[in-house]
Amino acid sequence: VRARAVGRLNDRALLAKVLREDPSPAVRREAVARVGDAAPLQEALRDPDDAVRARAVLEIPDDPARFEELVLKDPSPLVRKHAAGRLLDPALLDRVIRTDPSASVRAAALGRLTDPKTLEGCLADGRDWRLRRAFSIVIPAHAPIAFNRFSSRSSKWRSRRVAAANTPTTRPEAA
């Protein structure tokens, strides 16, 4: 009930106070969605509840250094996943894909990559079927040739099935 009431508030000072002081994570999460000011959102990134921190990651303005810190150091996979979804640096995304223990974080980082060579490098180093499956969905638009090599090399039947379903029917024209 309190969370719905917070959802109707427009007073930013009151929302910031709720964000700092309310004992309920659901109420604080709703306050994060409504507060709109940078300072309370930065405070929310230190909240003990991971769902509140994850919501704050989605609400704060672009801050690459903060996203890098969160994706590398936050203990919550949910927070790291949302931070990875806001990253732009290909080298950092590649690092996250290769080293993060959570498959959902690695998949979020993979979804942000656009460079075909980096994508292919991630494929060669892919260590679980979920990442290879996500890769087989992402890569056709970026690098069909590498994608075709992947679909014929993959030893996992799920990855091969998805790769076959997503294989482009026409080859890209030479540039």
- What are the pLDDT digits (tens) for 48-87? 999 999 999 999 999 999 999 999 999 999 999 999 999 9
The answer to whether the beta carbons of residues 109 and 136 sit under 8 Å apart is no
- pLDDT attached to residue 60: 93
- pLDDT attached to residue 50: 96
Which is nearest to 167 in space by CA: 143, 129, 156? Answer: 143
Rg of the chain on CA atoms, in Å: 20
Mean pLDDT score of the chain: 80
Instruction: Report the half-sphere exposure of 18 (CA within 13 A, side-chain side).
Output: 27
- 59 token code pair: 């609400």
- pLDDT attached to residue 76: 97
| DSSP letter, residue 167 | -
- pLDDT attached to residue 174: 47
Low-confidence ranges of the chain (pLDDT < 50): 143-148, 150-152, 154, 157, 169-172, 174-175
- pLDDT attached to residue 123: 66
- pLDDT attached to residue 36: 85
